[in-house]
Amino acid sequence: MSQPTPRSGATPYALTIRRILEHPVADDPGQEIVYRDLRRHTYADLRERVHRLADALTALGVKPGDTVGVMDHDSHRYLEAFFAVPMMGAVLHTINVRLSPEQILFSIEHAEDDVLLVHADFLPILEAIRGRIDVVKRFVVLSDDGARPPATVPFAGEYEALLAAAPARFDFPDVDEDARATTFYTTGTTGLPKGVSFTHRQLVLHTLSVATVLGSAHHASFRRGDVYMPITPMFHVHAWGLPYVATLLGVKQVYPGRYAPDALLALIQREGVTFSHCVPTILHMLLRASGAERADLTRWKVLVGGAALSRPLARLALERGVDVVTGYGMSETCPVLTVAFLDPEDLAADLDRQAELRTRTGRALPLVDLRVADEHLGEVARDGRSTGEIVVRAPWLTDGYVKDARATEKLWAGGVLHTGDVAWRDARGFVKITDRLKDVIKVGGEWLSSLELEDVVAAHPAVAEVAVIGRPDDKWGERPLALVVARPGAEARVTPRELHHHVHAYVQKGLLPKQVAVLEVKRVEAIDKTSVGKVNKRALREKHG
């Protein structure tokens, strides 16, 4: 029998956020970090600014275990907070600035933010709620021009001035890898937002797994030599954790500030951005923006997630030369669980087939134990047809909702995290989400996939946008209702008759079930979205159901 190897006296090496920063700075300190057209500096500067920020926050009274809230656009400052705050042993609260002031107030109080960093653009929100904020002891203003705003809030200082005045070196403590590093609030469509949190260890393991899968992909890969620009907000699930991956890889990073299509397209061109991630709505906005057709996007790779990427949108992206691929996850899962990378043989397929493959939800990341399960948590057949709920385990899933034992119990019922997403899986391991459990439509007792139907309706040339919801119906139990936004100038073609005709062609080819014959169609001016740009089906049901 072999003997255990004697311990060498090695000391434990904690998996903390600090490790992500140390390596690239040592490797290529001159690599660039860019903020809009306003600022550019190096990784060496990033490191020094992280130290200065930790010094400045300490001077404001921040101690290990305290919470620092941030309200900013996607910026170099946000990246600095991504590192400095957890590295101090404090908790970074990324505040969703698109929530209502009441919900923002709730999240600040619930997370017990001790210090708040607020961009001057969000002062109106702060002014509206400040009288009711009890927990925050100090406020810091962030501005792009260094100007101090009018003294409506007693700011302890302006970010750049505080950094300039702070020592360039901070003695970071040894932090427990299981200590909480980040927290943020999920964008519930009704009721109060729910808080989730992640530890250092969870974030480091998520970073490594995402870097592995993106770095080893046959297309749309993210690796050294790429230029990174996020287009999902840094307040939402750490911009999917990609700023940590980008820093670990030591690539050039570009932070775009407020999202405006022309500014984003200009940055992609000017800075040579090659890798981004966004929700489908943003991709749609960029590809349809005026001037987009003149932009060369053939070097741009985009990971699209947060909501289903439709085939027509994937096709449009492919036609423009964009290497687009789907990823999937949720706030509770750090977030990434799957990515739909193609195998080399798939890359030779025609655009329609590619659009189909690239809009699948994807295959599980390394270390993710993902099951498409029936109600007893048994796995359904991997036949590309049988559906069930996606349940997962992985080393980076949230332990539960902050101060909410009931919701936590439900999330983790049976020892697995319940995503609430309905999907099928095929023999190759590709998962495809067909609906949210809450959004499933049951027509005559049979489930109908609203996402599949949306894909088909969206393929009609007169349709700009569509959302399908279920409406109570005496005869059928529920009937699908397609809410359709017409392309400008094509309004007259968006009629029930025309769309029935279009959908029927898919039924005849066996691509849609017969129940879609009872589809209702309503033309609308716009489709309600949540604060992060996803279709808000609950709001649509309240309005049109």
Residues within the interface to ligand AMP (CB under 6 A) = 186-187, 237, 305-308, 326, 328, 330-331, 335, 361, 419-421, 433, 436
* Least spacing, CB of residue 352 vs ligand AMP, in Å: 19
* Least spacing, CB of residue 306 vs ligand AMP, in Å: 5
Say how many residues make up the chain: 545
Question: Whose Cβ is closer to ligand AMP: residue 24's or residue 306's?
Answer: 306
* Least spacing, CB of residue 449 vs ligand AMP, in Å: 11
The strand pair at 91-94 and 115-119 is best described as unpaired
Question: Whose Cβ is closer to ligand AMP: residue 272's or residue 414's?
Answer: 414
Of 63, 410, 442, 522, catalytic: 442
Distance CA 79, CA 47 (A): 11
Question: Whose Cβ is closer to ligand AMP: residue 119's or residue 360's?
Answer: 360
Instruction: Give kind and range of the element (H or E) at residue 82.
Output: helix 76-87
3-state secondary structure of 74: strand
Residue 240 annotated to the active site: no
CB 411 within 8 A of CB 417: yes
Question: Whose Cβ is closer to ligand AMP: residue 504's or residue 529's?
Answer: 529
Question: Whose Cβ is closer to ligand AMP: residue 31's or residue 182's?
Answer: 182
Question: Whose Cβ is closer to ligand AMP: residue 438's or residue 501's?
Answer: 438
* Least spacing, CB of residue 458 vs ligand AMP, in Å: 14
Q: What is the DSSP string of 214-278?
A: HHT-SSS---TT-EEEE-S-TTSHHHHTHHHHHHHHT-EEEE-BS--HHHHHHHHHHHT--EEEE
* Least spacing, CB of residue 365 vs ligand AMP, in Å: 13
Residue 226 CA, distance from chain mean position: 20
Cis ω for the linkage preceding 335 (within 30 of 0): yes
Contacts for 186 with CB less than 8 Å, ≥ 6 apart: 193, 194, 195, 196, 331, 332
3-state secondary structure of 367: coil
**Neighbour count for residue 498 (Cβ, 10 Å):** 15
Distance CA 36, CA 75 (A): 8
* Least spacing, CB of residue 158 vs ligand AMP, in Å: 32
Q: Which residues sit opposite 278 in a β-bridge?
A: 304
Residue 332 annotated to the active site: yes
3-state secondary structure of 400: coil
Question: Whose Cβ is closer to ligand AMP: residue 18's or residue 537's?
Answer: 537
Q: How far is CA 53 from CA 131, 138, 228, 467, in A?
A: 27, 15, 23, 44
Closest to 467 measured CA to CA, from 479, 478, 476, 480 = 480
Of 447, 520, 529, 534, catalytic: 447
* Least spacing, CB of residue 208 vs ligand AMP, in Å: 21
CB 42 within 8 A of CB 33: yes
Question: Whose Cβ is closer to ligand AMP: residue 125's or residue 431's?
Answer: 431
Of 67, 94, 182, 186, catalytic: 186
* Least spacing, CB of residue 232 vs ligand AMP, in Å: 9
Residue 432 annotated to the active site: no
Residue 158 annotated to the active site: no
Distance CA 301, CA 276 (A): 6
- Alpha-carbon torsion (224, 226, 227, 233), positive or negative: negative
CB 334 within 8 A of CB 198: yes
What amino acid positions are annotated as catalytic residues? 186, 332, 442, 447
